[in-house]
Each structure stands twice: as structure tokens, then as C-alpha cells.
Amino acid sequence: QGTTKLGEDLSSPYSFSWSNASAGTYSLTARATDDKAAVTISTAVNVTVSDSTNTPPTVSITAPANNAAFIAPATIVIDATASDTDGTISKVEFFQGTTKLGEDLSSPYSFSWSNAAAGTYSLTARATDDKAAVTISTAVNVTVSDPTNTPPTVSITAPANNAAFIAPATIVIDATASDTDGTITKVEFFQGTTKLGEDLSSPYSFSWSNSAAGTYSLTARATDDKAAVTTSAVVSVTVNPDPGGFGCPCTVFEPTAGPTNQLWNDGQALQLGMKFRSSVNGFVTGVRFFKQAGNTGTHIGQLYSRTGSLLAQATFTNETASGWQEVALSSPVAINANTTYVISYHSSSGFYSASNPFFNSATVKTPLTGLQSGTDGPNGVYRYSGTPAFPNQNYQSGNYWVDVVFDTSNPLKTTATSVVSSVKTSVSQSSDPQPKDVLKVYPNPFSEIAYIDFVLQNGGEYVINLYDGKGSFVALLKKEQTQAGQKNLIEIDGRGLPSGIYLVRLQSQKGTQTFRIAINR
């Protein structure tokens, strides 16, 4: 070890075991002597022994960025940060692959690599602490292009910018790429900084399967035969949750939920409300509140923005003596995902139901959430007022049992969404010279047989489901492919269904449409 003899071996295979080597860096050599006293010394082998109680250092490259591009002959300044919790950094070495480029013995740690030729390189930094422990950073890849090379061009041709899909989505990303003075070696596809895949030959394409709900930024990156790289413009896409998965119309509270204590009256008219959000864009179609026996007077429902702007109002009619009361808005109000709104009602006689405290935690019934107090202010809001007014006071985060009626699509005014159980269906198709992406159901109401008539503006797969009036799934009516502009007629045999309100929902590439139907006998 260095100039210190550790031991010797007189016969092959030649070996020596060096025990209890302390922490440090050592240079090991072997020296052979033949029968005529000639001596040869081997090339040195360097080894590092770390302290077993030592915490290794941390190190990372801060520049250049991963996938950075340069023009040859390039000067690439490599910067790194390194630290050691139980000691000091003795040096930071910089590597390209397994080739050491240089080192720096003091912070800030940096090395300037000059005259880098065209190529693709993997850069790492290796930190050594005062007890000889070593840590290697995550690799940073850089590309150096030939200065005489014209970079390739690349663009995403599909999907379109701001396209929308339904989760779990399969998004086919198509790209075109060309190179005026060479060839394309590959086109890589990215979501943000995450590589999804690549294609080595034209036409360039990648199918991204099972994409979850969210907003994504897609790019394509083309590399030519001289390692020049070009990244396309970003294409933004949105994957929406499957509306059918929510079984809307949706509410925050279950039909069986309600107050368990007495009816209250403070001796004056008042407004009562709840702050809520939806995790998806959609429409508020109505207001409801729980009525306990003895709650007399006029009740008027309102939808407000979080700042108090009145968005819609409707008066409750044909109320029952007790239970949930619901009124439909004359026109559904579009609301934005993850935005706070206030659903409320006015009680002219001052009667109301209350459960205190309640909104110390959120009430979640996907996609809706009754907010926890403290999220965008207190929840469980009220206001004493002789006429409807924005509720802006709070007492013990109370629940006044007012609720929102929400749908993921704008129901047609005739009637709203989907249902089917033991339903027989038949489909006929004919040419329609003027396609309209419109859903019709007739007759409505009906007692035995009804027909769903629709034409899709865009061809492709469609799904029609049936739900009951509470939004619970009843049956799949039809799932198949159709041509753009082709008329589709589906027969619903409702003779096996009880009387009541049902919802028909059509999902296609254009979105979702919902229609309310009624079976009367």
C-alpha cells in the first residue's frame, strides 16, 4: 500500500488479505520477482475505505439542465452543490460517462469543460467527504450539435391544442419531423419533463394509454443524424373524469341524511347557506333544503359566487310536510372546477334546521365537497334578512341542511339524465344529410315503449346509459361505433321498469348529453 509492504505469496494463485483497513484512500500495487531477481511492479489500483459510522455526502448537478443542447465546439460549465451532515466535503469530481473531466476542492463546485465535440453526453458529479465516503449525483444528459448542421423541425399534429378526453383516456400523439441536411434518428414524446415513449421511423406516433384526469403539456422532440435536437411547441390537453362515474345529478348530502334535533326559529326571517366546490366543471341545476315538520312560510333558493354575486334564484313550490325539498333553476348555471360557491335558501318565517358544529371537517361526495370551515373562510353561513340576501355570518360551523343539485352536463330543458334496467333495445340506422349532434327521446312521458333518436356530428364510439331519478345506474343501453351524420334510433322497452323519473345519458367524442324521461302508468 503505497511504499508499505502488506504481505507476500510464494505460489499461484497469488493473493493477500489485508485486514482492519481504516478509513482512507489507498494505492495498491503488486511486485513480482523472478528466479533471476528481475522485478516488475503492477499498475496501481486505488481503493477507498469509508468510516462505517459516517453519513455519506449529498451531491447534485445544478447546471446545465437535463437535456440541454449546445453547439460544437462547446464550453459546458458544470455546477454542483454538495454537503455533508457530519463532516466536510473534501472534493467534487466531474465525469462524462466514466471519464473524469476535472475536480473542484472548494465550494462553489464547478468545472468548465471546453471544446466538447458533437455528441450526446451523460454528466455526473462525485462528492467525497472527509472520511472518504463517496456519493455520485444523478446523471444530467446534454447534447452537443455540429455547428454546420441545420437542426430538424418537429410539430405535433394530433391531438389538437386544448383537446379534451374522458378518463381513463388513450391519447394518440402524432408528429411530423424533417431534416433539411440529414435524417431524423428518433422522435421522443414527452408529458412535461416525463418521457412517454419514442418512435424511430415515420410516421411518428405514440399511444399514451390510461391517462388519468388532469391537464397535460405534450411535446415531441426530434433528433437528427448529427445529434441536433428540436422540441416542438407545447400542446395542452385536458383529461376529464368520467362524468358517468359520478352518477349525476349529484348532491353533497345523501337522500337519507338530515337533522336529528329540533326545528329552530330565531324570531325573524333569515338566509341559510353552505359553501361548496366541485372537482369538475359542470352545472348547478337546482337547490334543495331539508324541511322539518312545522317549517312554514315561503322558501326561496339562491346560488351565489363566493364574493356574493347572485347567480340564480328560484322559489320552492309544492312542498311536502317534511323531508328534502327541491326546486329546479329556470336555466342551469355553469360553474368552474375547484371554485367556491354558496348555495342557500331564504326562510320568510324564520324556521330552519341546524346541526352544530358540523363543518369542522369537509363533507365529500365526489365530485362535490361541502367545505371545511377555514377553507375559503368559515362554512355554515347565515344572515338575518327580511328578503333574500348573501349569507355572510357563521356560528359554530353549523350545517343548515341546504344542498346543491349538480350535473356534469347541461340537461336539456325537456327533461334530464339517464336510466335503464331490464330494458330491451333495438337499433336502426339511416343516412342523415344534415347531421346534428342532438339527442331526442319520444314519446315523453311514456308507459311502455320510447325511442332515443340521435345523430353524432363526429363518428366514433358512443355509450348510452340509463339511470334512475336519483342518479343510480340502472343499465347499459348501447355501446358501439357509428358514422358521422348517421341517424341512430334506439328503442327502450320500459315495461319492466316502475313508474318514475329516469335519466338517459349519451357520451360521445363531442361530450355528454343528458335527458330526463318519465314513465307514467
User: Do 244 and 204 touch, CB atoms closer than 8 A?
Assistant: no
Residue 206, beta-bridge partner list: 173
Mean pLDDT of the 147-165 span:
88
Q: Which fold has domain 246-407?
A: Jelly Rolls (2.60.120)
Same fold, 153-240 and 246-407: no
Cα gap 237→239, rounded to integer Å: 7
Q: What is the C-alpha R_g of the chain? A: 35
Mean pLDDT of the 391-414 span:
83
pTM of the model: 0.40
Q: Which fold has domain 58-145?
A: Immunoglobulin-like (2.60.40)
**Between 497 and 77, the higher pLDDT residue:** 77
Predicted local distance difference test score (pLDDT) of residue 430: 37
With a cut of 60, say whether residue 433 has pLDDT above it: no
* Residue range 53-73, pLDDT digits in tens: 788 999 999 999 999 989 888
Q: Which CATH class is domain 427-519?
A: mainly beta
Cα gap 284→224, rounded to integer Å: 52
What are the residue ranges spanned by the domains of the chain? 1-49, 58-145, 153-240, 246-407, 427-519
**Between 198 and 408, the higher pLDDT residue:** 198
Give the right CATH number for 153-240 from 3.40.630.30, 1.10.1270.20, 3.40.630.10, 2.60.40.10. 2.60.40.10
DSSP H stretches of helix in 322-446 = none
Predicted local distance difference test score (pLDDT) of residue 424: 39
**Between 423 and 387, the higher pLDDT residue:** 387
Query: Which residue has cell 355528454?
Result: 512
CA dihedral 218, 141, 134, 82 (to 10 degrees): -70
Cα gap 140→143, rounded to integer Å: 10
What is the percent of the chain with per-residue pLDDT over 90, rounded to a whole number? 58
With a cut of 70, say whether residue 413 has pLDDT above it: no
Query: Which residue has cell 446534454?
Result: 142
* Residue range 91-112, pLDDT digits in tens: 999 999 999 999 999 999 999 9
21: buried, middle or exposed (CB in 10 Å: 19+, 13-18, 0-12)?
Answer: exposed
Predicted local distance difference test score (pLDDT) of residue 156: 97
Cα gap 349→10, rounded to integer Å: 109
Query: Which residue has cell 348510452?
Result: 464
User: Do 329 and 285 touch, CB atoms closer than 8 A?
Assistant: yes
HSE-up of 139 (CA within 13 Å, CB side)?
A: 10
Other C-beta atoms lying within 10 Å of the C-beta of residue 240: 19
Contacts of 186 (CB under 8 A, 6+ apart): 198, 199, 200, 222, 223
| Assigned C-alpha cell, 297 | 312560510
Q: Mean pLDDT score of the chain, rounded to an integer?
A: 87
**Between 337 and 429, the higher pLDDT residue:** 337
User: Do 482 and 454 touch, CB atoms closer than 8 A?
Assistant: no
- Least-confidence region, from 40-54, 213-227, 368-382: 40-54
